[in-house]
Amino acid sequence: MSQPVVICRGVKKQFGNGGGAVQALRGIDVEINQGELFMLVGPSGCGKTTLISVIAGIINQTEGECRVLGESVSGMSSGDKAKFRARNLGFVFQAFNLLPALTAAENVALPLFILGESKKAAVTKAYDLLAQVGLKDRGKSLPAELSGGQQQRVAIARALIHEPKIIVCDEPTSAIDHVTGANVLEMMRTLSKDHGTTLIIVTHDNRIFPYADRMGEMDDGHIMAIHTPETTQGRHYA
């Protein structure tokens, strides 16, 4: 087994205070290894999004520690967190993935723009990535001119372009049909294996479960069990 890139110990997250407080995470202990495809599943409201937000340094946990690539992100200033995300993390969101006014190539190049690379170099590299997701000749298209599956492939190219160590995805297939979803997962898996990238994917979509190396089953702010492919076949969590 490779070494863990994410180590969470006793992570708790509470939203709000007093009577209206919500305990979204109630003590998470988990390790995610380099290069693996780790899925997070569980019923709505169980804390999946909250957990990947903590791991990605987008929100701070209330208690416990989460070390990502050896660093404790919650202790960083907001500027350092932004830099850390820009350099080390890729994102695939469920919706509002792409900026509608930018072409596919420009959308893919965004992480490089954020890192301050020149437009020309960034766009050239974006075309490489678009070729890898099979959209070589759609670089000049606007997102609205692409199908849902094509948009999600653009998003995957974007998540990979700056060669991040970790890619987090929240419901990457919920806006597309299942066949396309399976193709998208297949592609993510192949590309991340090629690049040695760790994938953390939140999903309800049981048809993509087989692509997981390991799967964390969450309920009510806890990780109840960690499954491996042998135990996940045919199970339904959503």
Ligand X SMILES: Nc1ncnc2c1ncn2[C@@H]1O[C@H](COP(=O)(O)OP(=O)(O)OP(=O)(O)O)[C@@H](O)[C@H]1O
Instruction: Determine if 101 is a binding residue for another protein (CB under 8 A).
Output: yes
Q: Which stretch binds another protein (CB under 8 A): 36-44, 49-57, 65-73, 131-139?
A: 49-57
- The interface mask with Mg ion, positions 40-59, x = CB under 5 A, is ---------x----------
Distance CA 89, CA 140 (A): 25
Interface residue with another protein, options 53, 132, 150, 151 (CB under 8 A):
53
Backbone angles phi, psi at 106, to 5 degrees: -65, -40
- Cα three-residue angle 140-145-146, rounded to 5 degrees: 90
Give the per-residue SS3 of 22-52.
EEEEEEEEEEEECCCEEEEECCCCCCHHHHH
Query: Which pair of structure tokens corresponds to residue 212?
Result: 């997981």
Instruction: Determine if 86 is a binding residue for another protein (CB under 8 A).
Output: yes
The item of Mg ion, ligand X, another protein, none sharing an interface with residue 165, based on CB under 5 to 8 Å by kind, is none
Residue with smaller CB distance to ligand X, 185 or 223:
223
Interface residue with ligand X, options 2, 29, 45, 119 (CB under 6 A):
45
Q: How far is the CB of 20 from ligand X (least distance, A)?
A: 8
Distance CA 166, CA 89 (A): 5
Q: How far is the CB of 159 from another protein (least distance, A)?
A: 9
